[in-house]
Structure 1
Amino acid sequence: MASDSRHRPVETVETAFDIVDVVKDADGAGITQIAAELELAKSTVHRHVKTLESRGLLVQEGDTYRISTWFLDYGIHVRNRHRLYDVARPKVDELAAETDEKVWCVIEEHGVGVHIYGAQGRHSVKTHARIGQRTHLHQFAAGKAILAHLPDERIEEILDDYGLSAQTDRTITDGDELRDHLETIRERGYAFNREESVIGVHAVGAPIRNESGTAIGAISVAGPANRLRGDLMIEELPDLLLGATNEVEVNLAHS
């Protein structure tokens, strides 16, 4: 029987994107470094890199190759065409001004959380989070809020695909514990992150849901653990977030 090639990966395309990932993660890399990390022949890497450079995806600085601004155009295009970006952005800005903390809007794509917009309050702290960052959903408040409001079969697919890796020693890495945690989130309507993604940082996240109740995104507020605690953490911020996400949901439904 002939094999079905419809879902078979194209190795040259995979190699090209593996090279792009190495260059991005290293903030620039040469042929030797790329070849070593991917366990490929230098000649193979050289051909791919030169092709990527000729198409404008990489730029050369001496012996080092870096990601080009070609990706910036595509990234901005993707973000700007997402309905949630335009509708949620004003509420994210409003929450940042009201709470003085860092506020993020996150979507789920291919089973991970993607930060599509963020706003800084006067006292917001800097963390590793950035626009475009892709993070495992179980590791942060907005991600858990999304995960809890997906169909059960989709949750299991995501857990099977990505597992439960730890970002800190407080990240939930047990499947049964996470499922119980997601049930609690569904019951109260929002999620907490107590140093599960960054030590010293707490966050609250609430889902943005479509008319069927499935999460299409989430908004979170994050700040220092010694500031986001007590009534602010467990009552005031959840109330603010639930009001904001409800407004976004209504605007989405009528836009």
Structure 2
Amino acid sequence: MSQPHRFPTIDDRLFLQSVSRALDVIEAYAASPRPMSLGEIAEAAGINKSAAQRIGQTLLSRGYLEQTETGRLKLGRLFLDRSFDYLRSNELIERATPVLTDLRKAAEERVDLSLFDPVNDSLSIVYATRMQSKRETFYATLAGRRQPTYATSGGRACLALLPDEEVDDILARSVITRLTPKTETDLETIRAAVMQARADGYCLGVEQALLGEIALAAAIRDRNGRPIGAVHIAGSLSEWTEPDFRRRFAPMAMEAAGALSGG
């Protein structure tokens, strides 16, 4: 289950309903990333079929939707252009790339950069860079994947930089579900992991977001000491014990995160 969104409140007089509905159509593909008919789009986006047709044709004319041979609509390749625009416009991603490249060579395991997302109410992190290792699942290689803050080593490392009252508020507003059978769902257990990360300077998670995975992350701070992202190192439990993984990679992750902090 996805985390609820609570974006900044704006003056209702400045809100364009037509733009919002167009975004609803685009976001309908998040739950079902497959070609859809106009009826399916209307149902998924919560709009009527006439509005779905107008919006769908507009997005089709601009390249943000593409049409299949059967007439269904799917996400267009133009979204890759906009992803590229975002990635190259983000200063942290630009600064992090050489640091992560060196870290990937030294670690010989998957290295990720995640962004903490206070605009999206701090309930999730989103992976901006993913440098894969010798074996990966498909989704673990894709930038743009969003995961709940409470269940990820990077999210918990970011929470560790926040005051206790903010941590408690974020956890209270999170939709706590299992991403794997091993995901911790008890709030006190999650909070204890955050406090341990605060003491250690990094967070380690075992099979919290992906079965068979052990992952360690250290948070990146802004000039005020607030979390803006995290450096992750992830490996396989078939190759690493928890103590060995911690001993090997905690210093690397913390060093990389420190190099990227304060910028």
The answer to whether TM tops 0.5 is: yes
Hey, what's the Cα distance between the residues in 1 that align with 2:100 and 2:27? Answer: 30
Q: Does 2:79 match 1:68?
A: no
Aligned to 2:129, what secondary structure does the other structure show? strand
Deviation at 1:220, TM superposition (A): 0.6
Deviation at 1:6, TM superposition (A): 1.7
RMSD: 2.4
Matched to 2:25, the amino acid is I
Matched to 1:81, the amino acid is S
Q: Does 2:47 match 1:20?
A: no
The match for 2:174 is: 162
Decide which moves more: 29-38 or 195-204: 29-38
Distance 1:41 1:135, change over 3 A: same
Aligned to 1:213, what secondary structure does the other structure show? coil
The match for 1:225 is: 237
Distance 1:124 1:183, change over 3 A: same
Paired residues of 1:127 and 1:198 also in contact (CA < 8 A): no
The match for 1:100 is: 108
- Please give the residue correspondences for 1:32-43 in structure 2 after superposition, counting only pairs within 5 Å: 32-38=39-45, 40-43=47-50
Matched to 1:140, the amino acid is T
The match for 1:139 is: 151
Decide which moves more: 216-225 or 48-57: 48-57
Aligned to 1:165, what secondary structure does the other structure show? coil
Paired residues of 1:100 and 1:120 also in contact (CA < 8 A): no
Using the aligned pairs only, state the percent identity. 25
Aligned to 2:256, what secondary structure does the other structure show? helix
The match for 2:183 is: 171
The alignment covers a number of residue pairs equal to 247
Deviation at 1:41, TM superposition (A): 3.2
Matched to 1:37, the amino acid is A
Deviations 1:130-164 (A, max 9, x none): 20111111122112211222344443443344322
Deviation at 1:182, TM superposition (A): 0.7
> Structure 1 residue aligned with 2:11, among 6, 20, 26?
6
Aligned to 1:204, what secondary structure does the other structure show? strand
Hey, what's the Cα distance between the residues in 1 that align with 2:68 and 2:219? Answer: 43
Deviations 1:177-225 (A, max 9, x none): 2222211110001111100101111111111112332211111111211
Deviations 1:214-252 (A, max 9, x none): 211111111211223244212111011112222222xx5
Paired residues of 1:209 and 1:216 also in contact (CA < 8 A): yes
Distance 1:179 1:5, change over 3 A: closer
Hey, what's the Cα distance between the residues in 1 that align with 2:82 and 2:10? Answer: 29
Matched to 2:244, the amino acid is L
Hey, what's the Cα distance between the residues in 2 that align with 1:17 and 1:213? Answer: 34
Deviation at 1:87, TM superposition (A): 1.4
The match for 1:125 is: 136
Matched to 1:216, the amino acid is I
Deviation at 1:172, TM superposition (A): 2.2
* Structure 1 residue ranges, 4+ long, deviating more than 6 angstroms after superposition: none
Distance 1:79 1:153, change over 3 A: farther
Hey, what's the Cα distance between the residues in 2 that align with 1:161 and 1:78? Answer: 28
